[in-house]
Amino acid sequence: MAKDLKPHIGIFGRRNVGKSSLINRLTGQDIAIVSDTAGTTTDPVKKSIEIFGIGPCVLVDTAGIDDVGELGKQRVEKTMKVLEEIDCAIIVITHNNFEAPEIALAERLHELDIPFLVVHNKSDEEPLCDAVRESVQKLHGSEAVWEFSALKYKNIMPLVEAIKAIIPESVYQKVSLLGGIIQPNEVVVLVCPVDSEAPEGRLILPQVMAIRDVLDNNCICVVLKETHLQQYLEIMPKPALVVTDSQVFGMVSKIVPADIPLTSFSIVMARLRGDFGNYMKGTPRLSELKDGDTVLLLESCTHHSTCDDIGRVKLPRMILKFTGKDIHFEYISGLSPIPEVGKYAMAIQCGGCMSTRRQLLNRTNLFVNAGIPISNYGMSLAYMNGIFERAMAPFLPK
């Protein structure tokens, strides 16, 4: 899964239209296998690269949208699944073929509000005809149709500029975890438990991101375990903010005085990448769960579950205790499909440190559109610890 906020550009088209050749021309490297044999690319392949004129980005090479047979059908499904994680797309066509497969793809891109352009490759063999150009522009608005030959044309820059123009500006905007919450020279305390869930010899990604973000905001960063928090507060300067791991919310909230703002890593991650407003709105629905309800726990990464697992052990156990109801739980990790959204009474999403914002929103929008409440790990734990309003306070207008 994507671990960063670089632009994700998907390359789509039928088999043997030159998608891999186009990628090689864009990057100036032979990073994609090129062959005259149709179906050389069988699964989506991600390449983190740098394109001159665009900068660091992730190119996603996909299987042909016209693949056939049972295996081909599965490949097309994987290709279409990629749409949930890209920021813009290039539809590659040849020999003036913009028909049912391309039209269906373009319509799906419109549904997901993903900008795209059409590249007519192999134009040295057959130039783009005016009828196809006009048809594409009539059906799909002002998206440009570009003539190109990955093998013949030397000047790639006009196409690069066209791609850059369709990448949403929001992708390039540097979003801060704590921007607007902390001010320069303030002290920020990060509470990082070291237990069986902590990776050996390192911190988890949200903690590392928070450390860097505190420094980027020109603040003083203090990192400690929950066992040293009381000692710090007694002898050191008063912090402007305490950010803790959600699983020790209860303990930490009792130690940190009420006049010191307190929140969690999961919640600040939700502010950065998730549907923060709908998480806040949906969290209190925990109090309305009934016997027999099923709650879905959504994890953005895949990992081995342990006895201390927050999503699969601690959170479900706390929900059962908090509600006193016979609640059933299901778990989906990564970007695995969600077959029956309507069966769930509620969905709870992790912080999403291993996903992009688009990936998370496409996932949680399934529930929002179905009228099913969604929450976030940290918000749910804060709510059940009776400190939901306190954990949300740093993010609300003063």
Task: Please report, for the domain that includes residue 203, its CATH number.
Answer: 3.40.50.11420
Query: Average pLDDT, whole number, for the chain?
Result: 87
Q: Convert the pLDDT of each residue in 67-108 to its tens digit.
A: 888 888 888 888 888 888 888 999 999 999 999 999 999 998
Which amino acid is residue 330, in one-letter code?
E
Does a structural domain hold residue 396?
A: no
Residue 137 maps to a domain: yes
| CA–CA separation, 226 and 245 (whole Å) | 9
Higher-scoring residue by pLDDT: 38, 13: 13
Domain count across the chain: 3
Reported as a pLDDT band with limits 50, 70 and 90, residue 42 is: low
* 198 and 102 housed in the same domain: no
Summarised one tens digit per residue, pLDDT across range 305-329 is 444 678 888 899 999 999 999 999 9
**pLDDT at position 380 over 80:** yes
| Residue 182 placed within a domain | no
- Note the pLDDT of residue 178: 94
Average pLDDT rounded to a whole number, residues 43-69: 83
Q: At 375, which helix (H) or strand (E)? A: strand 374-376
Band of the pLDDT at 289, cuts 50, 70, 90? very high
Task: Supply the pLDDT for residue 1.
Answer: 36
Judge whether 22 and 121 are in contact, CB under 8 Å: yes
Neighbours of 206 (CB within 10 A): 25
Helix (H) or strand (E) holding 212: helix 205-216
Q: Is residue 142 part of a domain?
A: yes
Same domain, 60 and 167: yes
Specify if 370 maps to a domain: yes
Same domain, 45 and 123: yes
Q: For residue 300, how many other CB atoms are within 10 A of its CB?
A: 24
Instruction: Report pLDDT for 181.
Output: 94
Higher pLDDT, 113 or 329: 329
pLDDT score of 307 = 46
Phi, psi of 393, rounded to the nearest 5 degrees = -55, -40
Task: Examine residue 328 and state whether it is found in any structural domain, yes or no.
Answer: yes
**Average pLDDT of the segment spanning 148-167:** 83
Q: Is the pLDDT of residue 200 over 60?
A: yes
- Which residues on adjacent β-strands are paired with residue 188? 221, 241
Domain of residue 368 covers: 275-388
